[in-house]
Structure 1
């Protein structure tokens, strides 16, 4: 237990440091100490006097802080979804991208961006992404089951095939839209990115990820039972089919909300659960909070790299997560004997 709390404390310190750098660094650098003075001035103006240009206040509070908070939120959400899905299907390669959830959510979101669908008002993008992700997950799950059982090979093949088809559908929608501005926006969004984030777009994913993580923590015992196998879980009183269905809907909802605000970002939900299990084991009651912290740290750091490595230009963060996460995950696969 001492090791567990040491890991949590270390990740909290790392999150604090990475978040500070994420707010401080960019095309216009702000000293880290001044970042916290600006934030303290916003919280308690009487304690800290404003001796900095107004533009720095705008950069820190209006531009970079919501972006960093969104990065932490999306990273945490993708990580806990990946950990839950890997337990639900008992496959260490499962994550929202591999199982087609991200691609399905992308199709729904691209439809809204390209076609201008506003059926649900300001929540149209999130609603469409959720429905697309849920349909994709249900299709993959149905294709993977053979004779009432699901095999690893069928699951991976079904997920990869479905993801490829849906990605092609999203690309077709962009190419045939006939609206260059909307098509460019949709293409940029599909590569993943946190640019243009404001405070108004932060509360929905933050509430969704927090509530979803709490729900998943409440099901930690059932997730642990599934690790022992479907038969063992059913023998211990778990309605496996119903439980899987409910958590599939939850993961699709979380993924849809996150994809709606950040685009499709890969490898976070695939890689972070493996690192978590290396650090604290597979008990979901302890692993889920660590996975959330790891995901938040990783995506904030990836976004910082994406907007500083060739500044003032910006690389889509989905490209950075793939370039960093791909080789790291291959190393983990060989270390864990998965390949």
Structure 2
């Protein structure tokens, strides 16, 4: 399966370089240093790299959150992480008006991490830990944060600015505007290093402590990874809903629950899924473009509903 995903990723990546409002032919590429090469280096390759990083890193973050919470329907979308990062962006636009992107990432990261910790505390106090009830609590918590964000954005006339930041879209990605995504790469490496510890932590605090694992430290590392990756993706690309939820579930359906073995498959499938959705968005109303947040949201919500019904049928 990994070879199939890798082959599909290569084919879609090549296709992505040639799809856009301005057509590029192989004959033009033979003229090295021409206008076609300039377009590829400035726009198409940065866009492709940002798609691959965003798809892989957000999917891995979703897998880690599901492992730590022991719930297949927890992700940055359903745990308030994404909404908390959006609130942090609103605060950075309001308070740090002239600040650079790194400051905005830091502010969004702090709020994203705080929101994720609050969700985990709520999770500890919930007695009825039903598979579907927990993400619904997360959606309610995220809805409260989102409503607060909308209120302050409307009050201080930041609605348009917030919409520009949060609308998932790769069309504006070009050289010099995507490099912050590279912050996600070392986070993915850390996730692979801690994979076995995340697996043990997912079995519960008592079990982890009995095995000599520092449970709280491992959980905190996972939450920091989730918050930082989410903040970077939201600030650079925008919101990509349901990605961290559906991809880990699809992988575990055919691979099982071994986190370390699932990481490469999750990264590959996430990158392939986002790349396929991006290509679909570029060709469906060519030469115009459907934002990636809309295409992933529509397709992802359908898969999410399928997973919900499948889980209910299985439990009955």
TM-score normalised by L of structure 1: 0.84
Which residue does 1:237 correspond to in 2?
Answer: 212
Cα deviation, 1:35-78, whole Å, max 9, x if unaligned, reads xx84xxxxxxxxx652x8x3322322211211111011111111
Which residue does 1:30 correspond to in 2?
Answer: 24
- Contact 1:99 1:137 (C-alpha < 8 Å) held by counterparts: yes
User: How far does residue 150 in structure 1 lie from its aligned partner after superposition?
Assistant: 8.4
Q: What does 1:240-255 align with in structure 2 at a 5 Å threshold?
A: 240-255=215-230
Residue 187 in structure 1 maps to residue 167 in structure 2: no
The correspondence for 1:226, drawn from 184, 201, 216, is: 201
Q: What does 1:35-114 align with in structure 2 at a 5 Å threshold?
A: 38=29, 49-50=31-32, 54-113=34-93
User: How far does residue 116 in structure 1 lie from its aligned partner after superposition?
Assistant: 5.2
The correspondence for 1:151, drawn from 129, 133, 144, is: 129
Number of equivalences? 313
Q: What does 1:122-161 align with in structure 2 at a 5 Å threshold?
A: 122-146=101-125, 151-152=129-130, 155-161=134-140
- Contact 2:69 2:202 (C-alpha < 8 Å) held by counterparts: no
Q: What does 1:319-330 align with in structure 2 at a 5 Å threshold?
A: 319-330=294-305
Distance, in Å, in 2 between the alignment partners of 1:338 and 1:125 is 43
The correspondence for 2:173, drawn from 197, 203, 207, is: 197
Cα deviation, 1:112-168, whole Å, max 9, x if unaligned, reads 34565344x331221122112111111111222228x78357743441122101211
Distance, in Å, in 2 between the alignment partners of 1:110 and 1:307 is 29
- Contact 2:73 2:245 (C-alpha < 8 Å) held by counterparts: yes
- Contact 1:192 1:316 (C-alpha < 8 Å) held by counterparts: yes
Cα deviation, 1:296-335, whole Å, max 9, x if unaligned, reads 1111221222233223332221111111111123223444
Residue 167 in structure 1 maps to residue 146 in structure 2: yes
CA gap of 1:15–1:108, structure 2 versus 1, over 3 A, is: same
Task: For residue 267 of structure 2, give the secondary structure of its aligned residue in structure 1.
Answer: helix
User: How far does residue 177 in structure 1 lie from its aligned partner after superposition?
Assistant: 2.9
CA gap of 1:261–1:296, structure 2 versus 1, over 3 A, is: same
Task: For residue 94 of structure 1, give the secondary structure of its aligned residue in structure 2.
Answer: coil
- Contact 1:130 1:252 (C-alpha < 8 Å) held by counterparts: yes
Which residue does 1:308 correspond to in 2?
Answer: 283
Query: How large is the Cα RMSD of the aligned pairs?
Result: 2.4
After superposing the two structures, state which structure 1 stretch, 230-239 or 267-276, moved more. Answer: 230-239
CA gap of 1:232–1:122, structure 2 versus 1, over 3 A, is: closer
CA gap of 1:157–1:281, structure 2 versus 1, over 3 A, is: closer
Task: For residue 201 of structure 1, give the secondary structure of its aligned residue in structure 2.
Answer: coil
- Contact 1:96 1:255 (C-alpha < 8 Å) held by counterparts: yes
Q: Can you give the 5+ residue segments of structure 2 that lack an aligned partner in the other structure?
A: none
Which residue does 2:238 correspond to in 1?
Answer: 263
Distance, in Å, in 1 between the alignment partners of 2:97 and 2:23 is 39
- Contact 2:242 2:296 (C-alpha < 8 Å) held by counterparts: yes
CA gap of 1:116–1:238, structure 2 versus 1, over 3 A, is: closer
- Contact 1:98 1:156 (C-alpha < 8 Å) held by counterparts: yes
Task: For residue 42 of structure 2, give the secondary structure of its aligned residue in structure 1.
Answer: helix
Residue 280 in structure 1 maps to residue 260 in structure 2: no
Which residue does 1:176 correspond to in 2?
Answer: 155
